[in-house]
Amino acid sequence: MNGAPPLLEIAPFSFGAALVLTPLVRAVARATGTLDHPDERKPHPEPTPLLGGVAVAGALAIGPLLARVLTHATVPAPALGVVLGGVLSLVLGLVDDRRPMRPLGKLMGQLAAALCLVTWGAASGFMANQPILAVLAVIGVVALLNAFNFLDAMDGIVSTVTPITGLGFVALALVHGAGIDLALAWGTVGASAGFLVYNAPPARIFLGDAGSHLLGFVLAVLSLQALNSSFSIPHLAAVTTLMAYPLFDVIFVVTTRLASGRAVHVGGVDHTTHRLGRICGRWGTLAAIGGATIGSAALGTWLWGVETDAIAVGVVACLGLGYTLFGVWLGRTRLT
């Protein structure tokens, strides 16, 4: 490839927009009382502003706009379903941040966002002609929304995982020609990395449900775009691998809560991040999960180019076994 990667300029523009917007949104959150207050399952010592998702959303929108105006880049407009689903995800989270929603209402909102994406954001490709796969795609989007919502249990985790995973999708597009919206991918990298400056331990502002839902939705968009342009077992394995840690975390939490007779939707300090935090601290946990995500991005990029289904399935099976053993070990970590 000659020259700079296409649309690379969007990443620094989105990064800069996040740097500027986040303190402004933080001030608004304090002025309006949109704060996350400490309790027995939240380790932060004082009320911390929410609304980080608004800053990330603004940066995602401003980055491509600045690229168009300042560099005259040709930035394609996102599909209607992507915009509607993203707005729904953000608004759903904002409502939940302000007044916690009932699980069923939250699930209905997630389904609505997923349906917008699959119906109006994937008008061609495998989902247009395979209703069963389209239904599975909706379930997958909802799963990722919840996975990132669950993962957002420690300072900086989601805003560390997201830009690394976003770079994995960029690699799929640049190395293998996957049909991914590079403007959205680069914007996600820049916006989440910029937000991490304020969200790293000790966090000065939280993503809130609005931010975790939005970033989960954006990565779901990139996943479906990749598969919708070229669906195969190795490609499905590649996308699953890119999302390995968030999927592991939500499966771990749901499994351990069900095994102990607890309600899945009731929060607690039993996430993988909490358990790792007791072993290696917050920064050590960030480094460990960030390293695992880098490995997933590299492995997923390689898997996309594999031509044998059996190899792809075998690699994912080995990865799943590794995470299962890790989960068994992690499950023995004391929570108190």
Burial of 174 (0-12, 13-18, 19+ CB in 10 A): middle
Could you read off the pLDDT tens digit of each residue along the chain, which spans 336 residues?
Answer: 456 799 999 999 999 999 999 999 999 999 999 988 876 666 666 889 999 999 999 999 999 999 999 999 999 999 999 999 999 999 999 999 988 889 899 999 999 999 999 988 865 665 667 788 889 999 999 999 999 999 998 999 999 999 999 999 999 999 999 999 999 999 999 999 999 999 999 999 999 999 999 999 999 999 999 998 888 999 999 999 999 999 999 999 999 988 888 878 777 778 899 899 888 989 999 999 999 999 999 999 999 999 999 999 999 999 999 999 999 999 887 665
Q: 5 in helix, strand or coil?
A: coil
Structure tokens at 104: 């069923």
> How is the chain split into domains, by residue range?
10-331
Q: Give me the residue label for tokens 């495998």.
A: 126
The residues, any chain, with a CB within 8 Å of residue 300's CB and separated by 6 or more, are: 168, 172, 238, 239, 240, 241, 242
C-alpha 189/C-alpha 184 separation (Å) is 9
Residue 310 carries which side chain, given as an amino acid letter?
A
C-alpha 48/C-alpha 267 separation (Å) is 18
Cβ contact 158:148 at 8 Å: yes
Structure tokens at 284: 């050590």
What integer pLDDT is reported at residue 294 of this predicted model?
98
With CA atoms as reference, report the closest residue to 223 among 173, 298, 174: 173
pTM of model > 0.75: yes
What integer pLDDT is reported at residue 43 of this predicted model?
64
Structure tokens at 278: 């007791």
C-alpha 178/C-alpha 325 separation (Å) is 32
Structure tokens at 317: 């099976």
Alpha helix ranges (H) inside the chain: 10-32, 52-71, 80-98, 103-120, 126-129, 131-151, 157-176, 182-199, 208-229, 233-242, 244-259, 272-304, 309-331
Backbone angles phi, psi at 203, to 5 degrees: -65, 135
Structure tokens at 126: 């495998």
